[in-house]
């Protein structure tokens, strides 16, 4: 793979934007909101450095490029040229010139010129095959690389054999990503890592390497081995056909959702709902992605951020699992906790709290007071002792005085 670094004036990149593909198939959709775009433009106008961009040259005469890294910066720059947004309302003056709220066309000539000729450091990759580029992209984005999985596949020990066997599970025929460079082995290793941790955890290269090193005597009949196979069987049954929506980041989070539902909720009730819920969730995500920045629901904007960066971190996975699970419980508020357990789960509480808009629904001693997340009660509408179920539907937000004044008497 040849590469060369050149400074590209912003105006020139804008001039050939039709030949620059900012959305090659291994890229995530754009995730920047207006504030991030404005900050970048402000940074450029103040002549500060911004990080290098990576483009892959895919054809010559005319030259065409795929953006490996930097697509969001490019889109922000082009959007500013095209008048899609002004500078921030509270932008500080630049060189004594007031710039707050100005569009590109309204800038003083000197600043407009500074923007035009500002040089991006662009590394152009030539003669690179798709696997190499994908590898580079993954390294730049996630820190998880497929080459690392190739190396793990050379580890001695039982773990390697078991992961390899998992990767040939029928479910992997339904996922939306190909098995080039042991992609399926990588995801199988990540699922096993999640199973062994009992929930969301870091599943980056270093974590997987440690798992291989610590478990060279891995027993293919242990409970973790059975657990991961059980969830894979459920996934295979839920998605019997090729499902393009099952991208890599989605497979790991959906795995977490199913494992969690199995632990906490009446699973037989949930099982038949999974496929339609997942496809509906993905349809909602695409619909949100079509909206202009300022109309996107803030929670979906946060979700989009979580699936764009550090997707293999415990924090991202935990957040995504809770978000997906809550959407499932909101869609099906009669889903019950397992074995008639009395306490509401964290996600059920969140769904009830949001639905009730954080106000006390009892209104016995209060007037529907606004509740703080740290000190509210999730009350069974039909009391648990009278056979009321622990579901979002049968839950309601209550302030402590109301809930206590209710005593054991059903309201
Ligand atoms: Zn109250």
d(CA 161, CA 144): 21
Radius of gyration of the chain (CA): 26
Tell me phi and psi for residue 337, to 5 degrees: -70, 155
Give distance in angstroms: CA of 345 to centre of ligand 1.
Answer: 21
Angle separating helix axes 183-197 and 223-238, nearest 10 degrees? 120
pLDDT of res. 411: 44
Q: What is the DSSP letter of 190?
A: H
Closest CA to 224 of 242, 206, 188, 197: 197
Give distance in angstroms: CA of 369 to centre of ligand 1.
Answer: 6
d(CA 241, CA 244): 10
Give distance in angstroms: CA of 372 to centre of ligand 1.
Answer: 12
The residue with tokens 């339904």 is 174
How many other C-beta atoms are found inside a 10 Å radius of the C-beta of residue 293?
A: 16
Mean pLDDT of 9-34: 82
> 3-state DSSP call for residue 247?
coil
d(CA 89, CA 42): 12
Choose the weakest-confidence range: 170-174, 214-218, 375-379. Answer: 214-218
pLDDT of res. 78: 97
Mean pLDDT of 362-372: 95
pLDDT tier for residue 29 given thresholds of 50, 70 and 90: low
Give distance in angstroms: CA of 341 to centre of ligand 1.
Answer: 25
Q: Give one word for 352, left, alpha or beta, with left for phi > 0 and alpha for psi -120 to 50.
A: alpha
Instruction: Give the environment of ion ligand 1: residues with CB less than 5 A.
Output: 360, 362, 366, 399, 402
- pLDDT tops 90 at residue 363: yes
Give distance in angstroms: CA of 339 to centre of ligand 1.
Answer: 30
Choose the weakest-confidence range: 207-221, 285-299, 311-325, 350-364. Answer: 285-299
366 vs 154 pLDDT, higher one: 366
Give distance in angstroms: CA of 356 to centre of ligand 1.
Answer: 12
pLDDT tier for residue 408 given thresholds of 50, 70 and 90: low
Query: Is residue 53 within 8 Å of 119, Cβ to Cβ?
Result: no
313 vs 149 pLDDT, higher one: 313
pLDDT of res. 265: 93
pLDDT tens for each residue of 37-91: 999 999 999 998 888 898 999 888 899 998 888 888 999 999 999 999 999 998 9
Percentage of the chain exceeding pLDDT 70:
93
Mean pLDDT of 131-139: 70
Give distance in angstroms: CA of 366 to centre of ligand 1.
Answer: 4
Query: Is residue 34 within 8 Å of 91, Cβ to Cβ?
Result: no
Choose the weakest-confidence range: 264-268, 272-276, 377-381. Answer: 264-268
CA-CA-CA-CA torsion sign (132, 136, 141, 147): positive
- pLDDT tops 80 at residue 136: no
d(CA 69, CA 78): 16
Give distance in angstroms: CA of 411 to centre of ligand 1.
Answer: 13
**Tokens of residue 320, six digits:** 């995504």
d(CA 312, CA 256): 12
Return the HEC string of 369-394.
CECCHHHCEEEECCCHHHCCCCCCCC
Strand 377-380 with 20-21, pairing: unpaired
Give distance in angstroms: CA of 378 to centre of ligand 1.
Answer: 12
pLDDT tier for residue 127 given thresholds of 50, 70 and 90: confident
Give distance in angstroms: CA of 360 to centre of ligand 1.
Answer: 5
Closest CA to 208 of 190, 222, 194: 190
pLDDT tier for residue 144 given thresholds of 50, 70 and 90: low
Give distance in angstroms: CA of 367 to centre of ligand 1.
Answer: 6
pLDDT of res. 284: 95
Query: Is residue 133 within 8 Å of 68, Cβ to Cβ?
Result: yes
pLDDT tier for residue 410 given thresholds of 50, 70 and 90: very low
d(CA 391, CA 53): 49
- pLDDT tops 90 at residue 132: no
Choose the weakest-confidence range: 149-158, 248-257, 351-360. Answer: 149-158
d(CA 160, CA 162): 5
pLDDT tens for each residue of 183-216: 899 999 999 999 999 999 999 988 999 999 899 8
Please report, for the chain, how many H helices and E strands are present, in that order: 17, 7
Closest CA to 261 of 251, 271, 247, 252: 271
Percentage of the chain exceeding pLDDT 90:
65
Summary mean pLDDT of the chain: 90
pLDDT of res. 378: 96
């Amino acid at each position: 793979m040849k590469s060369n670094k050149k400074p590209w004036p912003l105006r020139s990149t804008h001039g050939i934007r039709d030949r620059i593909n900012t959305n090659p198939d291994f890229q995530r959709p754009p995730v920047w909101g207006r504030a991030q775009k404005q900050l970048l433009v402000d940074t450029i106008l103040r002549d500060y450095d911004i990080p290098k961009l990576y483009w892959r040259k895919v054809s010559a005469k005319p030259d065409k490029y795929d953006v490996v890294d930097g697509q969001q910066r490019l889109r922000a720059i082009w959007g500013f040229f095209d008048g899609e947004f002004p500078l921030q309302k509270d932008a500080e003056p630049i060189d004594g010139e007031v710039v707050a709220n100005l569009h590109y066309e309204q800038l003083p000539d000197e600043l407009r010129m500074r923007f035009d000729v500002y040089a991006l450091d662009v590394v152009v990759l030539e003669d690179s095959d798709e696997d190499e580029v994908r590898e580079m992209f993954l390294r730049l984005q996630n820190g998880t690389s497929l080459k690392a999985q190739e190396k793990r596949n050379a580890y001695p020990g039982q773990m390697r054999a078991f992961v390899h066997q998992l990767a040939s599970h029928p479910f992997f025929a339904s996922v939306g990503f190909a098995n080039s460079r042991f992609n399926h082995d990588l995801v199988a290793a990540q699922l096993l890592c999640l199973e062994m941790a009992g929930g969301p955890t870091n599943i980056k290269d270093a974590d997987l390497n440690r798992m291989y090193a610590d478990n060279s005597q891995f027993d293919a009949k242990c409970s973790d081995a059975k657990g991961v196979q059980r969830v894979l069987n459920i996934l295979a049954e839920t998605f019997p056909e090729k499902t393009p929506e099952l991208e890599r980041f989605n497979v790991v989070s959906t795995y977490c959702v199913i494992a969690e539902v199995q632990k906490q909720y009446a699973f037989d009730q949930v099982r038949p709902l999974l496929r339609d819920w997942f496809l509906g969730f993905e349809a909602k995500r695409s619909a949100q992605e079509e909206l202009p920045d300022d109309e996107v629901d803030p929670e979906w904007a946060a979700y989009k951020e979580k699936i764009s960066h550090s997707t293999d971190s415990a924090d991202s996975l935990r957040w995504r699992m809770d978000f997906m699970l809550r959407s499932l419980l909101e869609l099906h508020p009669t889903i019950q906790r397992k074995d008639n357990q009395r306490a509401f789960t964290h996600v059920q509480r969140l769904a009830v709290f949001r639905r009730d808009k954080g106000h006390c629904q009892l209104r016995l001693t209060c007037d529907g007071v606004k509740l703080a997340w740290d000190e509210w009660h999730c009350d069974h509408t039909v009391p648990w002792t009278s056979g009321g179920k622990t579901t979002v539907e049968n839950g309601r937000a209550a302030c402590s005085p109301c809930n206590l004044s209710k005593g054991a008497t059903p309201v």
